[in-house]
Every structure is written in structure tokens, then in C-alpha cells.
Amino acid sequence: MFDPTGIFDNPKYAKLAFDNKETFSQGNPFPHISFDDFLDEQLIKELRDNFPDYNDDVSWHVRDTENIKKRYQADDTKLPKILRLMLREFNSKQFLLFLEALTGIEGLIPDPYFINGGVHMSKSGDYLGVHADFNWNHMIQAHRRVNALIYLTESWQEDWKGALELWELNGVKPV
């Protein structure tokens, strides 16, 4: 098994953050950035290979409302070891330093509870409607400042629809 422990110790992440902080800050409709090949190819393959199936018994939480249809799991103890270790790396000091360098926001703290975080899965027909994320995390009593999304889908096809869209601040149409 690929061990992701310390993956963000690699100086390439500091360089990536510093080289892209202007691009991040100029994102429209709000600061954001997208990276292809952010994680090591072998790590992505292991994460994908160990990701629970839609019907696996990992005690998926099911959201099925007018605006959301998906499955998620925020309790890392219910996930395969590689995913559990990776979630912990995303809460590591090194990843926070990467985010601080990229965003210019100092003093970021992780969310060890994965409130609306953790792993999410959707299949054909599932959806997440246009929305604004919450900004107050009640568990850590802090404002939510940064979201990091990692997509593991292999060979994404645009005709599948469902790609990430960022909308105008008024929520009328995508940018």
C-alpha cells in the first residue's frame, strides 16, 4: 500500500502554492484555483482502488432532498486505511501551510470532524444543486474559510454532465 504520510512535506507543494497565489486571488467569481495532477498518480490509483463502492457497507450517510442526492461518510474510522490516512494528511500542518501560502490566509485550522467533509460519492442521476456553503463550523467554533475538493474520477467525460460549476454571486448563472 502506498503510504501518504508526509506527502505534503514535498517542496513541490510549497512551490505550487507560491507560483499560483496570484492566479488564486484573481479567481472569478471569488478566489479559487484548480490543479490537475495535484497528487501522485500512484496515490490516486490506490485511493480510487480502495474507495468504497456506492453500495458497500461503510454506513454511507444518504442525502436525498430536492437540492442534493449523494452519499457521504465523515467518520474516517469507517473507511479503508489509505483513505483514512489521506484525510489525516489533508488535516496536517503541512497541508495547512500549503493552503496558507496559496490563499494568503494565515492561521488556518483543520476540521478534524469533517463537517460536510470526508468522502462523498455520487453516481449517475445524483446531484448537488446550486448552493453556497455554510460559513460557520459549530464543532470548532470557527468560520469556514477554505474548501479543498479532490476528485478521483478517472477519465471524466463532459457529456456525463455534473462537472463543478462556479456561479455568479447572485446565483443566476455559471461564470
Question: What pLDDT digit, counting tens, does each position of 35-53 carry?
Answer: 999 999 999 999 999 999 9
106 closest CA partner among 72, 157, 145? 145
Per-residue pLDDT reduced to its tens digit, 126-171:
989 988 888 999 999 999 999 999 999 988 888 888 888 999 988 8
- 57 — pLDDT class (breaks 50, 70, 90): confident
Please state, in angstroms and rounded to a whole number, the distance separating the CA atoms of residues 123 and 140: 31
**Helix, coil or strand: residue 12:** helix
User: What is the pLDDT, as a whole number, of residue 61?
Assistant: 92
Q: Give the mean pLDDT of 111-117.
A: 93
Reported residue count of the chain is 175
